[in-house]
Each structure stands twice: as structure tokens, then as C-alpha cells.
């Protein structure tokens, strides 16, 4: 087995843009305010992955791999569970606003402070 490489570890793809957006309050179009206490997140879902993870953070959509198959609503439920853990909100605060049968979805986060 080859020895582990030493050196700087790279941040995940898109992390720099997330941090810079938070510092400058310049949010991409995939994040938008719906009301004073709700936010909509445009997501490009990729079901059937081995692990759930955020793959990319683009201006048009947040790419999310989902560790559930795209059948009988399993991927939608897994997406909402994963997003609630990432965002640190309760599962009941999340819902799919549109795209329940598509890979391109809009997830609504309610009761945002």
C-alpha cells in the first residue's frame, strides 16, 4: 500500500464560493427568500448514490447525491432527511415545493430565523 500523501488538503469543490457568499451576503440564485421566514433552495438531485453528499454549489442549483433509489418517494424522503441534518433544522421545517417527480427540485425551508 502506498504511503499517504502529505501536504495541504483541498477544500471540497465549491466550498470557497459558499464561504465568500456568506461573508458578502451575495447569495446565488439557487437560494432565494420566499417570505420573511422561508427560503427556497433549488436542488439537482442525484439518487442512487452510495452516500449522501453535496457535490456542487452552482449559481443555478445545489447538486446533492442521495443514498436512496428514485422510487416510491424514497429519494425525496432521503433528500429531506439529509438536508435537515446539513442545515441543522428539524425535518418538519422542510418540504418539496416543486419537482417531486424530477431530479430538479425546490426545497422550502420554513421558520428560518
User: CA triplet 88, 89, 95: central angle to 5 degrees?
Assistant: 130
| pLDDT of 11 over the 50 cut | no
Residue 2 maps to a domain? no
Q: How far apart are CA 3 and CA 69, in angstroms?
A: 36
What is the CATH classification number for the domain harbouring 71? Answer: 3.30.1200.10
Task: Enter the pTM of the model.
Answer: 0.76
Q: Which range marks the domain in which residue 102 is found?
A: 15-109
Residue 4 maps to a domain? no
- In the three-class reduction of DSSP (H, G, I as helix; E, B as strand; rest coil), residue 52 is classed as coil
Which range among 20-29, 39-48, 53-62, 80-89 shows the weakest confidence by mean pLDDT? 20-29
- In the three-class reduction of DSSP (H, G, I as helix; E, B as strand; rest coil), residue 22 is classed as helix
The pLDDT tens digits for 49-99 are 999 999 998 889 999 999 999 999 999 999 999 999 999 999 999 999 999
Which range among 19-23, 58-62, 100-104 shows the weakest confidence by mean pLDDT? 19-23
- Could you give the number of structural domains in the chain? 1
* 53 C-beta neighbours (distance < 10 Å), count: 15
Amino acid at each position: 500500500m502506498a504511503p499517504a500523501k502529505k501536504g495541504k488538503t483541498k477544500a471540497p469543490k465549491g466550498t470557497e464560493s459558499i464561504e465568500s457568499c456568506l461573508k458578502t451576503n451575495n447569495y446565488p440564485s439557487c437560494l432565494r427568500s420566499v417570505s420573511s421566514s422561508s427560503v427556497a433552495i433549488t436542488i439537482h438531485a442525484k439518487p442512487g448514490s452510495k452516500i449522501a453528499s453535496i457535490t456542487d454549489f452552482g449559481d443555478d442549483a445545489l447538486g446533492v447525491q442521495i443514498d436512496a433509489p428514485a422510487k416510491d418517494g424514497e429519494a425525496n424522503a432521503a433528500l429531506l432527511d439529509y438536508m435537515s441534518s446539513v442545515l441543522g433544522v428539524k425535518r418538519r421545517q422542510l418540504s418539496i415545493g416543486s419537482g417531486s417527480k424530477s431530479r430538479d427540485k425546490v426545497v422550502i425551508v420554513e421558520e428560518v430565523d
